[in-house]
Amino acid sequence: MKLSKRQKAFADAYLTNGGNATEAARAAGYSPHNIGANAAKTLKNPKIQAYMKRRLQPIERKADLDVDKAIIHLLDIGMGREITARSSTYDNIKKMMLEDTTLKYSPGPKQQVEALELYLKYKGMLRNSSKELEDQKIAKLKADARKSKAEADISEAKAKLLTDAGSQDRTVIVDDIPDE
């Protein structure tokens, strides 16, 4: 159940980059051809899943983190409830704590939306597609809309020309036959 160097690099990058499989594949040196699909396939690999689980277990134990606590915290943020956070600054050279502060804050709208999106992705109710893929889809939709508008404008112009032609007693030839 040993991982290749590339698989291990992928898993490590995925764990450290916030869970972006496409970026992890890119960082691990996977081919850019179909990188999103390959990244998704690699992420589902049981050996990689087991490796990432083993890497996270000691960290989760040390932080006393379990899934229930994480989800509760995520939902608290998503619902805009007051959050208690701790910020500390430690000087490693002097071996002493410089600052240790506890503060309470209410998450802003952006944090709330991000937390709820993350929760819905966890529940499988939102797809986790890459930003790059979403940008491509949006660009295609915009291009299709421009094309449709241009075709509608051309049809309107032809109709107007035909209507006006009758009042001016002239002949209009419309070439709608495609060249083959």
Residue 178 located in a structural domain: no
Q: Which of 47, 109, 107 minimizes the C-alpha distance to 81?
A: 107
Domain that holds residue 42: 1-65
pLDDT digits (tens, 9 = 90+) for 128-154: 556 677 777 777 888 888 888 888 788
* Residue 128, CA atoms < 13 Å, CB-side half-sphere: 17
Matching residue, tokens 């109709």: 159
Number of domains comprising the chain: 3
Q: Model's pTM, two decimal places?
A: 0.40
Q: Which one is predicted more confidently, 77 or 131?
A: 77
The pLDDT value recorded for residue 46 is 93
Residue 179 located in a structural domain: no
